[in-house]
Amino acid sequence: MGLDPGFRSGVKVAVVDATGKVVATTGIYPHEPQKRWDEALATLGKLAVAHRVDLIAIGNGTASRETDKLAVELVKLLPDLKMSKIVVSEAGASVYSASAFASEELPELDVDLARCGVDRAASAGSAGRTGEDRSEGDRRRAIST
């Protein structure tokens, strides 16, 4: 699950499978000025359960810290999913989102952060889980949604 943080325009949410295929998208508004925190948590929770999310990638731009707190709360609310979270660089995300391919694939949403999370988890192994040793099979499941 990728979260592209924002205040006024909300947080864009994309869920991708292990291959990068988009399986769900939405927008939530947990921060100023809308402050719909509980509604945002409920939406993220439904997506996480429905798609068996166990990795959340959060963009490091505007509202990143606030969105990270949202992800921490989500992880605590759904311990059975054993979700991890990582913060990913938004550098280069606009290159994809401005491309013709992105316009055709998802005209209203940038899913590059979610895909970056899948790529980062695959290459970093247990980066999202400090203090735990994870097998290759566990890592593969961690990037599946």
Residue 82 is part of a domain; what is its CATH number? 3.30.420.140
Tokens for 10?
């909300």
Confidence label for 44 from pLDDT (cuts 50, 70 and 90): very high
Show the domain range for 129: 2-142
Whole-model pTM: value is 0.70
Contact between 26 and 1 under an 8 Å Cβ cutoff? The reply is no
Q: pLDDT digits over 88-125, tens only?
A: 988 766 555 556 766 666 655 545 555 555 555 555 54
Report d(CA 28, CA 26) in Å as an integer.
Answer: 7
- Cis peptide bond upstream of 30, omega within 30: no
Q: What is the mean pLDDT of residues 127-140?
A: 40
**Count of domains observed in the chain:** 1
d(CA 55, CA 70): 14
Lowest-pLDDT choice from 14-23, 63-72, 87-96: 87-96
Mean pLDDT of 41-65: 96
Whole-number pLDDT of residue 66 = 97
